[in-house]
Structure 1
Amino acid sequence: MFSSLLKKQMMRAGFLLLVSSFLLPFSAKAAPIEKVDVSLSAVGGDLPPAVEKRVISSISSIGNRVLVGKEESLFSLNSSAYNKVLADIINRVVIGYVVSDLTVSYGRDTAFHVTLQPVGQIIRHVDTEIDYGGLTPEAARYVAADTADVPALMDNLLIGLPVDSVGWAESVSQSAGRDLLSQILPEFQANFEVESGENTKVKIYLIPQGKIVRSSRLTFEKTTIPRLLMLRAAEETETALSALRGLPVDFVTRHSEKISSDMNDILKKDSFIEKYGIATDTSLVSGETAELRVNALTDHWVIRTEVWLDAGRDGDKNTAVEGMLGHYIGKHSTVFGEARFYPGPMDWNVYGGFSHQFGSFMDLGYKYDFVDNANHIFGNVPIGNKFSLRYDRDFKKRENEFGFSYKIHNYITLEYVYNDEDGKWLRLIANL
């Protein structure tokens, strides 16, 4: 529509230009127009910035097509006629407004100043509704926090506009509204439905873009108490974490600190964690599987319980229950007591020892077996979040033992063990 209207008006302008060129002496030609600048004002108040930008763009396009490259003197000598033609073109293109005043300063750099008068009904109220699609209520709350200002922005965009102008130029409300939403929610596509009138209704449909969160998991990285004691807190947090499904991965990445903090708040409110003052901290790793990594630490004590089941090992110590109680000395050192019970045939090992943590790189320590009267040195090297390598040296038996473990789950670890005396086997460890 814009193109056909503009062509008709160009023909009128071209006819005037042709007539003017015959009326002017050949020697009167001046330099051609190279540039058109447009300024805009509106009767009764300013236009919304997005609408003003669109109107200026349309008027600039008209000015460039009609004037640029033509001799400015042709227009200067017939300014009244040309101004009338230009005003008529603008009236046909900018729907919902009429030109109440137009001044043009012709020259190499030609300047337009246009004053517009709204016509017809004016939008006086905007009711904005946002549809979050298939997102869970919990996920929608995170998106709603980003879109809290959208109704006010739509008010600023539309209130005061002529009702007819809402459908102008591919719909001001939709194109300008999408520009606003793309800045606020770049991870979503926004589709608009607009019922224009004095009371205009805008419904915005949000559609996730890019990769989507499809699953989630909670991973304990470091704990100083038995994990079973935090089972209830972990399950509640995992349920909240699963609500992220359906959100764009980029959105979760942008809000990872907030989401991580909210998950940590759920952990801290658990009655057991709250009662014993266990310090928790979390970090969220976004992806198609959103992973919440959790540390749960006490100030002074370290408590660990495990159950072992060995497969492929000769002997009668293929099942064991181990418990450890330690106390921090400073930030990186621990003194501990450890007991290991073998149920069939019944046997025991009881240890006392000391360990030191060298950052996140390695733990080294010494322990003494009070049952076998044996000295041990040991070390553990974590490899990422899933793997670790351990070493134990029994000086009495002169045996070395190596273990390479993979954490299958928060509560289950699989370890490949090699011992100088007993050979190699697999060990399934329940991290209680």
Structure 2
Amino acid sequence: MKSYDQRPQEELSNFPTFQLFNSAEPRFPATRTIRSSVAPLIGLLMLAAGVAPAWGQTAVQQVVVELSFDGATPHRIIRDRLEATVSSVAERLLLGRPLEQVAALLPRPEEAIASVIERVAVGYAVADAAVRPSATTVVSIRMRPVRPVVREITVIPDLRALHQRVQPLLTGLLSGPAAEIQVLMTGLPVASLQWADSLIELRVRDVVEAALPGFTATIRIHPAEAAQLDLTIVPKDSRVIRNIGVRFRSTSIPIVLLDQHGPQVASMAEPLRGLPVAFAGTVRRALERMLNEQLAAYPPAADYNIVATSRIEAAETTYVTVSAESLVYRARVEARLNIGPSAPGPEVVVHLGRLVAPPLEPFLEVRLVPTPLSLTADLGFRYEVSPVSSLGVTYAPSTQETMLWTTVQVSPDLGLRGEWAVPTQVFEGTLTYRLNEFLAWELVGTSRGDVWLRLTSNL
């Protein structure tokens, strides 16, 4: 039977205590080994083969750790690791021992625990240690950082995996993680970075992935009082933007003219390629603003007073829908095919207008009806109440009819139009659903009970 008057450090010489710093358990997810320079210390915390407490003796049933620090308390992840280390050392030395044997240990248990902690937690020294034996034994440890300590940290992002036009956007979004890194590392002993770097990397990865959905990060620390951290940002998700399509929409410019500029718009959107879909969806408005700046600087837009805005639909094949409107001229060509027993014949409508004031547009509409062949022209005024609604009046000299009408754009694809013919007192309502930039279905109904479908092609 082994006597308990032997040295605790000799008793603990065969157990791999320091595996705590290599543990893959969820509450201590470090991945890098903290190595002691003294090989025998890798097993300092193995309890010697002892006798069970005699009948009636009180043994240590639980160990509670009280950990404090001289100066600033380190970040929670560092503090939790140090507390877990102290707890593991104390439990392996004390748990299950009779209280009389704990009191008789030489050197004293607090001295043995302090010696092991200082060798494991490089960069920290034990300023004071105390053990209060009882069924629930309290171990109090006060630690102090060993100079030098980290005074400042410079974070250098590496964004080379991304297009340079989107790099400023990511740099701005990294301000939060950079501040977190400052809090995490400032005040840490420089020597502690040899075992704390894996904890730091896990924390940095978490905050980067929260700030930049779809991305992850790796780090490289250059230890010093003025430390440097290289932060490499790379996509994490497999769903990234691989292809870019361009669509145009306009109520004032024929689509056939806009389509000629599709390759140039696709080139403007090239920085989107390779971005994670989740990230592009989160910062969609910022990406649209970036693209709108490119569209505003596009020479044809400036030369012809055209305002163009973009809408991004983030996916592996991302579509950029450009809404382009002239500030001076309004022109469009529509081919209409009416379907139904009471429907009028097909027609082609050419709309030509000019803004004389920002909300007011006089216009001319020319209608070509192939069967029977006829060509008519209507005159009118359109007043824009808001970006999605307008009022207007049209006069048809051929029939001497006056029409009052209004339009409301419920969504980019859904619109309503109401028209009142003054002489005949007939109301006509139209519900429009746009299939794409070229085609739209319209459901038309009148106060006379006539209903038909109309397929409109925006040329």
TM-score (norm 2): 0.64
1:201–1:327: structure 2 CA closer, same or farther, 3 Å change rule? closer
d(CA) in 1 for partners of 2:82, 2:405 = 76
Deviations 1:207-247 (A, max 9, x none): 33385445555566665555666667765344333532432
Whether 2:368 is the aligned partner of 1:342: answer yes
Whether 2:261 is the aligned partner of 1:261: answer no
Kindly report which structure 2 residues correspond to 1:56-135, keeping only aligned pairs within 5 A, or say none.
56-63=83-90, 66=93, 80-91=107-118, 93-94=120-121, 96=122, 99=125, 101-104=127-130, 106=132, 110-115=139-144, 130=158
The one-letter amino acid paired with 2:82 is: V
Whether 2:207 is the aligned partner of 1:207: answer no
2:66 to 37, 41, 44: 37
Contact 2:173 2:211 in 1 (8 A): yes
What's the Cα RMSD here?
5.5
In the TM superposition, residue 132 of structure 1 has moved relative to its aligned partner by: 6.0
The one-letter amino acid paired with 1:372 is: T
d(CA) in 1 for partners of 2:331, 2:400 = 23
The one-letter amino acid paired with 1:258 is: A
1:113–1:408: structure 2 CA closer, same or farther, 3 Å change rule? same
1:384 to 400, 411, 417: 411
Whether 2:268 is the aligned partner of 1:240: answer yes
1:397–1:129: structure 2 CA closer, same or farther, 3 Å change rule? closer
d(CA) in 2 for partners of 1:161, 1:249 = 39
Deviations 1:276-325 (A, max 9, x none): 555555565655565656555566x5613223153769999634241232
Runs of 5+ unmatched residues, structure 2:
1-15, 21-39
Contact 2:63 2:87 in 1 (8 A): no
Contact 1:380 1:390 in 2 (8 A): yes
Structure 1 counterpart of 2:302: 274
In the TM superposition, residue 403 of structure 1 has moved relative to its aligned partner by: 4.5
The one-letter amino acid paired with 2:346 is: N
Q: Secondary structure at the match of 1:273?
A: helix
1:145–1:55: structure 2 CA closer, same or farther, 3 Å change rule? same
d(CA) in 2 for partners of 1:98, 1:326 = 78
Contact 2:111 2:129 in 1 (8 A): no
d(CA) in 2 for partners of 1:116, 1:353 = 80
In the TM superposition, residue 386 of structure 1 has moved relative to its aligned partner by: 1.4
Contact 1:6 1:62 in 2 (8 A): no
Kindly report which structure 2 residues correspond to 1:159-308, keeping only aligned pairs within 5 A, or say none.
161-162=190-191, 166=194, 168=195, 171-172=198-199, 174-190=201-217, 204=232, 206-209=234-237, 212-213=240-241, 216=244, 224=252, 235-275=263-303, 277-281=305-309, 284=312, 286=314, 290=318, 296=324, 301=328, 303-308=330-335
Contact 2:217 2:234 in 1 (8 A): yes
d(CA) in 2 for partners of 1:200, 1:377 = 70
Contact 1:323 1:339 in 2 (8 A): yes
Contact 2:46 2:92 in 1 (8 A): no
Contact 1:33 1:71 in 2 (8 A): no
Contact 1:35 1:64 in 2 (8 A): no
Structure 2 counterpart of 1:374: 401
In the TM superposition, residue 260 of structure 1 has moved relative to its aligned partner by: 2.0
Q: Secondary structure at the match of 2:412?
A: coil
Q: Secondary structure at the match of 2:375?
A: strand
The one-letter amino acid paired with 1:113 is: R
d(CA) in 1 for partners of 2:165, 2:402 = 54
In the TM superposition, residue 268 of structure 1 has moved relative to its aligned partner by: 1.3
The one-letter amino acid paired with 1:82 is: P
Contact 2:337 2:456 in 1 (8 A): yes
Q: Secondary structure at the match of 2:116?
A: helix
Contact 1:381 1:388 in 2 (8 A): yes
Q: Percent identity?
A: 15
d(CA) in 1 for partners of 2:43, 2:101 = 20
The one-letter amino acid paired with 1:406 is: Y
Contact 1:391 1:403 in 2 (8 A): yes
1:88–1:180: structure 2 CA closer, same or farther, 3 Å change rule? farther
Report which of the two has the higher share of strand. 1
1:115–1:126: structure 2 CA closer, same or farther, 3 Å change rule? same
d(CA) in 1 for partners of 2:99, 2:157 = 51
Q: Secondary structure at the match of 1:247?
A: coil
TM-score (norm 1): 0.67
d(CA) in 2 for partners of 1:69, 1:414 = 81
In the TM superposition, residue 262 of structure 1 has moved relative to its aligned partner by: 1.0
In the TM superposition, residue 369 of structure 1 has moved relative to its aligned partner by: 0.7
1:414 to 430, 437, 440: 440
In the TM superposition, residue 348 of structure 1 has moved relative to its aligned partner by: 2.0
In the TM superposition, residue 259 of structure 1 has moved relative to its aligned partner by: 1.5
Q: Secondary structure at the match of 2:404?
A: strand
Deviates more, 1:72-81 or 1:265-274: 72-81
In the TM superposition, residue 340 of structure 1 has moved relative to its aligned partner by: 0.9
d(CA) in 2 for partners of 1:250, 1:220 = 25
